[in-house]
Amino acid sequence: MKAQKIRTGIAEIIGVILTIIILAPFLLVVVNSAKSSADIITSPISLPEHWGQIFTNLSNVIHNQNFNYWNSFFSSLLITAVSLLLLTVFSSMAAWVLVRNKTKWSSFIFMLFVSAMVIPFQVVMLPLLSTFRETSNFFGIQMLQSYKGIIFAYLGFGGSMSVFILHGFVKGIPYELEEAAWIDGCSPEGTFFRIIFPLLKPVQVTVLILNGIWIWNDYLLPSLMLGLNGKIKTLPVAVSSFVGSYVKQWDLILSAALLAMIPIIILFLFAQKQIIQGMVDGAIK
């Protein structure tokens, strides 16, 4: 028994030390956001003299022309929210059709979605840019530097994985449910939206979380499609263009990083279980 106790004691100490090491970078960000530029250079690890400085720094960053926190925050929010909404609805619809129709076509389309998960963004990004540019010129539909263009792109890129995850779940829903609705005179679209769609909720949460974290943090796609100095910026793009314009102004850069981290940390505090569960489920499937 004694040996057991000592062992748990050691494990506890290791756990605490690891927590401190793993979270130290975040502490450094908070501590240094409350210092002036000169203080950071002379003593980056000491505690700040006046915590009030953090508000000065944050307000400097929020009102900065290049960073424009509220604009980029709401752009990120809009792009993520609309992309997630469309992805969830359209992939559920597609997955349902693909499961319930056992034809050559449906299995071909499903295989296409599954194999496309291997395609890295790098191999499509350059032709995608030129396709979008040409679409804009030819059809007069602005695809680059616009919300609809980037949301459309997320719909295309997130679609394959979402269909794959939903497909497995729809398979498990008994077909008798749909037959019963069908006999009662419900139309196919009614059957889907009234019966199947609500049943998909648990797996839709997984799809939302996986795609949400990815879209919110994504840098390469928005930096190419919106541009680093375009009108619309997502938060990662704004941070990057801000860093580019203030080389080594660490007080401002760290405050900007802090502002970019806060929304997702707050979300994590509220929905910790769902987020961890969703991301793990997505990896295993």
Partner 1 sequence: MNVQLKKTISIAAMAAGIIGMAAALYMDFSGSASTIRGPLLIAGALLVIAGVYLLPTRKHRSIINVLFLFPLIFAFAVTVLIPFACGIFYSMTDWNGIKFEKFVGLGNYISMFKSNDYIYSFVVTFIFTVINMLAVNLVAFGLALLCTSKVKGRNFYRAAYFIPNLIGGIVLGYVWQFIFNKVMTTVIEGSTSMLTDPNLAIAAILIVSTWQYAGYIMMIYVTGLQSVPKDILEASNVDGANQITTLLKIKVPMIANTFTVCIFLTLVNSFKQFDLNLAITNGAPSRILAGKPVQATEFLALNIYNTAISKNQYALGQTKAVVFFIILAIVSLTQVSISKKKEVEM
Among 40, 207, 208, 226, binds partner 1 (CB under 8 A): 40
DSSP state letter for 6: H
Residue-wise burial string across 95-114, b where 16 or more C-beta atoms lie within 10 A, e elsewhere: bbebbbeeeeeeeebbeebe
72-131: contacts with partner 1 (CB under 8 A): 86, 90-91, 93-94, 96-98, 101, 109, 112-113, 116, 118-120, 122-131
List of residues 6+ apart from 62 with CB closer than 8 A: 69, 70, 259
> Which positions from 218 through 277 interact with partner 1, judged by CB under 8 A?
218-220, 224, 236, 239-240, 243, 250, 253-254, 257, 260-261, 264-265, 268, 272, 275-276
Out of 188, 194, 202, 229, the only residue in the binding site for partner 1 (CB under 8 A) is 188
Cα–Cα distance between 145 and 74 in angstroms, integer? 15
Per CB under 8 A, which of residues 63..82 are in contact with partner 1?
none
Q: Nearest Cα to 215, choosing from 110, 129, 87? A: 87
Out of 6, 81, 85, 141, the only residue in the binding site for partner 1 (CB under 8 A) is 141
Q: Which is nearer to partner 1, 148 or 231 (CB)?
A: 148
Q: Rounded to whole angstroms, how far apart are CA atoms 139 and 120? A: 28
Contact between residue 211 and residue 87 where contact means Cβ atoms under 8 Å apart:
yes
Of 6, 85, 177, 280, the residue at the interface with partner 1 (CB under 8 A) is 280
Question: Which of 38, 47, 104, 139 is the binder for partner 1 (CB under 8 A)?
Answer: 139
Closest CB 82 distance from partner 1, rounded Å? 13
